[in-house]
Chain A
Amino acid sequence: MEKLPELRNYTFNFGPQHPAAHGVLRLILEVDGETVMRVDPHIGLLHRATEKLAESKPYNHSIGYMDRFDYVSMMCNEHAYILAIEKLVNVQAPIRAQYIRVMFDEITRILNHLLWLGSHALDIGAMTVFLYCFREREELLDCYEAVSGSRMHATYFRPGGVYRDLPEKMPKYKPSRWHNEKDIAEWNANREGSLLDFISSFTERFPKLINEYETLLTDNRIWKQRTVDIGIISAERAVAMGLTGPMLRGSGVEWDLRKKQPYEIYNQLDFDIPVGVNGDCYDRYLVRVEEMRQSNSIIKQCVEWLQKNSGPVMIENHKIAPPPRVEMKKSMEALIHHFKLMTEGYCLPEGEAYAAIEHPKGEFGIYLVSDGANKPYRVKVRAAGFPHLAALDELIRGHMIADVVAVLSSLDIVLGEIDR
């Protein structure tokens, strides 16, 4: 009798060096023909033990590390950390600082969603969207740079407020050998006023630009073939798997911390929470695109408020926040405060706090344990992307190999926060 050949599933690596792996992610795929039977993500290739590192430093030294968790939504990470500290020490930032924080949170949300949209489209095969998205990202990164001096790792939010008030002048392009005066004048047209004027002009233009992206994608036949009914997760399963943010809302669960557990001044703003219906890649795409429109409207409201109202952006308590430079020149007390804050830092009362924000990717939380020292005893970062990637196996099972890329990028993962 002729023996049939033994058929076995084929196992292969996806990554760690793969352009669609969104960083250093290694997936071990088990396939039966073209069908994916199992995925085993191997993470940790970007593990830097930041949480342990934070245990060895005074609180403020770790703000910069927060930027490096989810390195495409920097200020949002800072925000959660700052909120946890403020909760423990029981201070509240001045109202103007709260508006600035919310404005930059939403700028960050657009930054994140633009990068996500660009790379998601690129993964699926639409090159143009990527270029469009990065064109707008550049302007928002200029806002980051204008306010903090850094395009990405801002370290702008501080316990008790923000590092400094918004600048009155927007940095401008200069003519060079490659770009003549006429070009430069055109580029600088919306940079003549303050940072707020620049952001305001951006919010005027941005909805039309979102329409441009949507023209390219929303009704695109190929786009729909690649995303509709791919990676479906039901609302019940999404909750069980710990999904939050657009991943959860894409499945039709109306849950947004900005509405449900508002922090800062979100309860005074007018915005809507978009939700999906089917919980597939296409719905998650629609949710995120609509979120960009909502963020744009929030930024507009913040700009309006900030243009009308001025005030301090940092609390006056110099046990927590450093005194202004000018004061240090003449006041011994201020100099001592500055010295103590820059060397030893401040001690938080013994206790523990969990502060969460609606990060562009989902719920980003900081669990802070303090034993009364000038350093955190334990910082646990609840990264939004972590449970999302853990759910990958369930989302992909039974799909084709080509869908792995579509589902993976619809999760919006950044390995910086997953590996920590």
Chain B
Amino acid sequence: MSDVNALEEKIKTHYAALIQSTCIALNELTVEVSPEFIRPFCLALRNESEFDFKLLIDVCGVDYLHYGVAEWETESSTATGFERGREAILSNTNKNKKRFAVVYHLLSLTNNQRIRIRVYLDENNPTVDSLIEIFPSANWYEREAFDLYGIMFKGHPDLRRLLTDYGFVGHPFRKDFPLSGKVEVRYDAKLGRVIYQPVTIEPRILEPKVIRSDNRYKVGD
């Protein structure tokens, strides 16, 4: 793969007005763009021969609601000691950041390069322009992100649900949507048909999420 640093420089010089920031980690370039510029930026990346990002690899939604929040404190000991049962995180803890993001992965076949573009979206209005006219393959990816995260893609001609059931309510991959779902189906012998009812599964955590920032995992380098 060719040099990501050179790519970063080129993007910085050409499109300083369109992008918010760039970052290289693990030899992967991530560019942050504000929602209103995603369309011109991607159009330029596709059309300019020195970038030539013609293949849209992936579009996905991310919900940053519980980012960096652990279910079990490990840094300080608690007065109550360790307990077996842990409750799921309920509070919205990620207040100062925007909640949603749409992440695009592009690939250039001629230059053999990849780029990741991230657009942060506000919780109250998670809307971004659709890329369907630039990359026809965005069609289903955007429908999926809409289905699972409730992100709206402006200009998408057919923004229907894709993966969930007909008549499904809610956006299941949001962090505040319970893992066990909200409704379950069963056959009701009296009514003689299948009915929906609220889930009877008690939410529980088998393995608490812990965040360790100590150096024990520092390997390599």
Contact = CB atoms under 8 A, between A and B. Distances in A.
Contacts of A320: 217, 219
A261 interface: yes
Contacts of B216: 319
B207 A58 contact: yes
Given A344-B210, A347-B212, A352-B25, A43 B217 contact: no
A43 B58 contact: no
Contacts of A264: none
Chain B, interface residues (CB within 8 Å), range: 35 or more
Interface in B164-221: 164-165, 172-173, 179, 205-207, 209-213, 216-217, 219-221
Nearest to A237: B136
Given A240-B136, A242-B135, A378-B62, A52 B179 contact: yes
A182 interface: no
Interface in B24-73: 25-26, 28, 30, 54-58, 60, 62-63, 66-68, 70
B116 interface: yes
A350 B179 CA distance: 23
A373 B55 contact: no
Interface in A373-396: 373-375, 377-378, 380, 382, 386-387, 389-391
Residue among A255, A348, A387 having the largest count of chain B Cβ atoms under 10 Å: A387
Contacts of A242: 55-57, 135-137
Contact of A372 (B58, B206, B212): B212
A342 B163 CA distance: 33
A373 B211 contact: yes
A79 interface: no
Interface in A315-371: 317, 319-320, 343-354, 356, 363, 365, 367, 369, 371
B54 A380 contact: no
Nearest to B205: A56
Interface residues of A, number: 61
26 contacts: A44-B163, A44-B164, A49-B172, A57-B206, A239-B55, A240-B135, A242-B137, A260-B1, A260-B112, A319-B216, A319-B219, A351-B25, A353-B26, A354-B28, A354-B114, A363-B57, A365-B57, A367-B60, A367-B103, A369-B62, A374-B207, A374-B210, A374-B212, A377-B67, A386-B141, A390-B137
A197 interface: no
B211 A317 contact: no
A77 B216 CA distance: 29
Interface in A42-69: 43-44, 47, 49, 51-53, 56-58, 61
Nearest to B56: A242
Interface in A189-225: none
A382 B212 contact: no
Interface of A: 43-44, 47, 49, 51-53, 56-58, 61, 87-91, 239-242, 244, 253, 255, 260-261, 317, 319-320, 343-354, 356, 363, 365, 367, 369, 371-375, 377-378, 380, 382, 386-387, 389-391, 419-420
The secondary-structure label for the interface of chain B is: loop
Contacts of A253: 109
Contacts of A373: 70, 209-211
Nearest to A348: B217
B143 to A, nearest CB: 9
B139 interface: yes
Contacts of B173: 49, 51-52
Contact of A344 (B67, B114, B165, B207): B207
A241 B137 contact: yes
Contacts of B212: 347, 372, 374
B98 interface: no
B140 A386 contact: yes
Given A91-B219, A352-B25, A372 B114 contact: no
Given A44-B165, A319-B219, A57 B207 contact: yes
A354 B27 CA distance: 10
A343 B207 contact: yes
Contacts of A420: 163
B162 interface: yes
A374 B217 contact: no
A314 to B, nearest CB: 14
A315 to B, nearest CB: 9
B26 A240 contact: no
B105 interface: yes
Contacts of A391: 137
A91 B210 contact: no
B179 A319 contact: no
Nearest to B140: A390
Contacts of A52: 172-173, 179
A1 to B, nearest CB: 39
Given A239-B54, A253-B109, A261-B112, A372 B220 contact: no
Contacts of A353: 26, 28
A90 B221 contact: yes
Contact of A371 (B57, B109, B211): B211
